[in-house]
A = this chain, B = another copy of it.
Amino acid sequence: MDAPTLIQACRGQATRHVPIWIMRQAGRYLPAYQEVRAKHDFLTMCHVPELAAEVTLQPVREFGFDAAIIFSDILLPLEPMGIEVQFIEGKGPRLAPQIRNMQDIAKLIDADFDPSSCFLGQALQAVRHELAADKALIGFAGAPWTMACYAVEGMGSRDYAVVKQLMNTDPAALHALLDKLTTVLIRWLRMQLDAGADAFQVFDSWADALAPMDYREFALPYLRRIFETLRPMGKPGILFSKDAGAFAAENCQLPIDVLAVDWRVDLAALRKQHTGTGPTAYQGNLDPLALLGNRETLLEKAKRILSENATTPGYIFNLGHGVTPATPVENVRALVDCVHEFRSAT
């Protein structure tokens, strides 16, 4: 049997249509999601496999996306490490304790995960069971640097001042934290692949905080370790690096299958520059706010990206960031149809 369309694209193979999924597709713009969310808080939806599986499947049923990405949150593997995670309505995550020095780091638990007993493994198994064979299931994790930001800051941050203070005063401690996080994140991802995920995506949402010298020291080596370690499992690895513009060339040299970029990157130019030396495939990168405009402008922009990128294999359509809650459902439907109907002129 053929691999799911999206997996074929990850491998650089020609596909019958251009595959599409969108980040945060199981999210607040979707009425069916809102119905579940009205009855349960966000963490409960993550922790109860039946609920997570249900909202994971909704957007695939509704729009025919080529992949389901498991409903979860990048912060959840911190819980078994000994960090309590809360989501405060309108404010975002709050973590305790905050990890600020070598003593704090030493106390973190080297968590491991079993696909059949972990809620996330159970959710993945349930989704894979329901999902059609031509649809891919994507697992995910945060990148070590991004996870370290949360662990140190204890919340989102505008300028990452606390984690950078640690970097600029006790770099050895930051390395110790990144090392420990990387070990657990590899286990977290492996468990997801064991549970039935067909591919995995690593989100480095806060890569854009770092100067190149710091990115090379505190981000790249740990990303490399994740993708190198999981490569023998034979399932495609996708790296999404926000603000990839500055670091795209270096990310292309990582042992990844797919580079996913935000909307500020000229994806066609990037692919051209790295043909034959970079990843097998690329993913992206429509501005998510184009979905708030009128249909005509939206589809014009989508077609521009398609004509620049989808005429050669190894391309997956996606947004450059998560879909926003205010997005009209009909615009999402029009976008998916537009991508699926696209035929290269060549």
Does B289 lie within 8 Å of A212, measured CB to CB?
A: no
Candidate in A215, A285, A292, A326 with the most chain B CB atoms within 10 angstroms: A292
Does B326 lie within 8 Å of A292, measured CB to CB?
A: no
Chain B residue at minimum C-beta to C-beta distance from A326 = B161
Does A289 lie within 8 Å of B160, measured CB to CB?
A: yes
| Count of chain copies | 2
Report B-chain residues with C-beta under 8 Å of the C-beta of A165. 289, 292-293
Chain B residue at minimum C-beta to C-beta distance from A301 = B213
Chain B residue at minimum C-beta to C-beta distance from A158 = B158
Does A293 lie within 8 Å of B168, measured CB to CB?
A: yes
Chain B residue at minimum C-beta to C-beta distance from A320 = B211
Q: Is A265 positioned at the interface, with any CB of B under 8 Å from its CB?
A: yes
Does B293 lie within 8 Å of A167, measured CB to CB?
A: yes
Report B-chain residues with C-beta under 8 Å of the C-beta of A287. 164, 210-211, 214
Report B-chain residues with C-beta under 8 Å of the C-beta of A228. none
Report B-chain residues with C-beta under 8 Å of the C-beta of A346. none
Give A217 Cβ to nearest chain B Cβ, in Å.
11
* Given A159-B289, A160-B289, A208-B168 contact (CB < 8 Å): no
Does B294 lie within 8 Å of A169, measured CB to CB?
A: yes
Report B-chain residues with C-beta under 8 Å of the C-beta of A246. 243, 245-246, 264-266
Does A297 lie within 8 Å of B168, measured CB to CB?
A: yes
Candidate in A214, A215, A287, A326 with the most chain B CB atoms within 10 angstroms: A287
Does A164 lie within 8 Å of B263, measured CB to CB?
A: no
CB interface residues, A 197-232, toward B, < 8 Å: 208, 210-215
CB interface residues, A 279-295, toward B, < 8 Å: 285-287, 289-290, 292-294
Does A212 lie within 8 Å of B168, measured CB to CB?
A: no
- Bound complex: CA A324 to CA B161 (Å): 10
- Bound complex: CA A208 to CA B246 (Å): 12
Q: Is A343 positioned at the interface, with any CB of B under 8 Å from its CB?
A: no
CB interface residues, A 297-325, toward B, < 8 Å: 297-298, 301, 304, 320, 324
Does B292 lie within 8 Å of A264, measured CB to CB?
A: no
Does A264 lie within 8 Å of B290, measured CB to CB?
A: no
- Bound complex: CA A264 to CA B160 (Å): 14
| CB contact between A293 and one of B169, B266, B320 (< 8 Å): that residue | B169
Known interface pairs A161-B292, A164-B290; 12 further A-B residue pairs with C-beta atoms within 8 A, sorted by A's residue number: A161-B324, A161-B326, A165-B293, A168-B290, A168-B294, A169-B293, A211-B263, A211-B287, A212-B264, A243-B264, A245-B247, A246-B264
